[in-house]
Structure 1
């Protein structure tokens, strides 16, 4: 593990990233205090979004939620009735 200062990290970022890609771990420090760590990105550790993320809502939403026609007020809102302050949509 290599420790570098912020100044060195800013001036040699490309070189440091090449070292990280090779598997090295780099710690960036402000003076003597470590503040960040550069490590290789592990694609396999990223969480995979699975099916059923919203399964808990399945029985709580009405079955005809998107099949009902909009009310006149909702339709006018979609057509821009409320888009401009002071405009009555006319």
Structure 2
């Protein structure tokens, strides 16, 4: 069996083997799903644009000034969104 044939599943087999297909895709394979022998979909690995380490991942790298929530700062920010005419 060639690698092309191994990476193509009909819809019924894809439903039956979804966990196996996802495992193969997680390891870099691309899988074609076919209906009546005609390819209709491709399952490909998802490449993340940004790797997040979780909540708090910026802890210690951001500094907030004492007046970060003052009326003056809030008014300046509001002016950026609703400038005076």
Q: TM-score, normalised by structure 2?
A: 0.52
The count of corresponding residues between Structure 1 and Structure 2 is 50
SS, match of residue 36 in structure 1 = strand
Q: Note the 1:8-87 alignment, pairs <5 A.
A: 8-44=13-49, 63-64=83-84
- Deviation at 1:30? 0.1
Select the structure of larger CA radius of gyration.
1
Gaps in structure 2 of 5+ consecutive residues:
51-80
RMSD of aligned Cα (Å): 2.3
Runs of 4+ in structure 1 over 3 Å off = none
Query: Greater share of helix residues, 1 or 2?
Result: 2
Q: TM-score, normalised by structure 1?
A: 0.49
Gaps in structure 1 of 5+ consecutive residues:
46-60, 66-90
